[in-house]
Chains A and B, each alone.
Chain A
């Protein structure tokens, strides 16, 4: 009888601790994140203890994958290596062609500004290893191997070359979590490189794409255009490539939009980004500060 009472009491205690802990984390964490981006103390302690083991776990999982692929599908491994070499060669050729074109012609002022801006950003960037994804598999998140000790703060942009990969959301002591551009949480001001028009806000659709809606009427945009991040004090650094316009489809006919200076058409875009789209293949990224230095 006494044993049963003890067991029941223990269960009530565990239940109470779990409920209070869940309510604490659910209420405190987003509020603390809005203030300074740093999680509450309890989460910081757990993260600090977990981080040294997360990196070896990643190396172990990556090694297992390599062994499994090489044993089960040796041809797939060979084709992966071939594909990687082909991509590197293609990027090198493109870079050389671009450099030759810029050197031979008088480059537009905007292009020079973008190059200078990107060079400055990359010089101030912090390298970070990708050590995992969202453990639930429901969000497009990246777990990065650099945190507060490396100078990472909430709102910084995660880039791969000149392509934006995501935005840092949670900063632990030596790890951080970033929303990928395709996550529903991601927001960034967008600008078309060809026409230099501002295109409103690009949002991740959670299904592997980016959506631009409420594009100002008259914006010069067509399929194949390169879209980069626009200037936004609270968003990611400007001039980073978001992707190329894959599909332009009007969500509602233009003639039904209200007339006047505030008239807007809602345009849905599917953006395809070659180097960034395959986030699963990313191993190393760089974290760059935003316009406000964070």
Chain B
């Protein structure tokens, strides 16, 4: 799970540059944090978010770094706290949960360093959340596969708790 999140964080700038559709791109790093937090729990989600935030810090300038770290860590924590309330096995829940996570992450970041225009930011954030939601089943599928492999495929995966 950590490798998936780190890989997503490292690939995120390239995804922004290459796989952007009309200004909206999948926030795969936040989706990976969401998946990790939902599967592993709050403290692991928090640590995973912090790790991804630390990688993002080196990919940004020198402004708004605290917000970057806190937003990622907070999403991991919140995902971990909701792990028993979100039914990840339902296919429709996965994109919705990921989209909400990406949106929450953007809102926290906005609170730390607001954009001059609210409406353009809102449209961008919504677009990003939708596109991220669309790619999220891939991450859930990979995470479930890894979890099943770790448990020796003896059980159908239903969460760690």
Tell me which residues across on chain B come within 8 A of A280, comparing CB atoms. Answer: 17, 20
Assembly CA distance A185 to B25 (angstroms): 23
- Interface membership of B69, Cβ < 8 A: yes
- The reply to whether B16 and A137 contact each other, CB–CB distance below 8 Å, is yes
Determine, out of A20-28, A97-105, A216-224, the stretch whose residues face the partner at the interface.
A20-28
- The reply to whether B60 and A136 contact each other, CB–CB distance below 8 Å, is yes
Assembly CA distance A132 to B13 (angstroms): 4
Assembly CA distance A237 to B25 (angstroms): 33
Query: Mostly helix, strand, loop or mixed at chain B's interface?
Result: helix
- Interface membership of B91, Cβ < 8 A: no
Determine, out of A46-54, A87-95, A115-123, the stretch whose residues face the partner at the interface.
A46-54
Q: How far is the CB of B13 from chain A (nearest CB, A)?
A: 2
Tell me which residues across on chain A come within 8 A of B128, comparing CB atoms. Answer: 137
Assembly CA distance A205 to B115 (angstroms): 11
Tell me which residues across on chain A come within 8 A of B117, comparing CB atoms. Answer: 207
- Interface membership of B29, Cβ < 8 A: yes
- Interface membership of B32, Cβ < 8 A: no
Which residue of the partner chain, among A15, A60, A139, A205, contacts B60 with CB atoms under 8 Å?
A139
Interface pairs (23), CB distance under 8 Å = A14-B47, A18-B50, A22-B69, A25-B69, A26-B65, A26-B69, A29-B65, A39-B58, A43-B57, A46-B57, A53-B7, A57-B11, A61-B11, A61-B18, A64-B19, A134-B60, A135-B9, A135-B29, A139-B60, A141-B61, A172-B58, A175-B58, A185-B63
- Contacts A134-B60, A138-B115, A280-B17 supplied; 10 other A-B pairs, CB < 8 Å: A11-B42, A15-B43, A22-B69, A33-B62, A54-B59, A58-B13, A60-B14, A62-B14, A139-B61, A207-B117
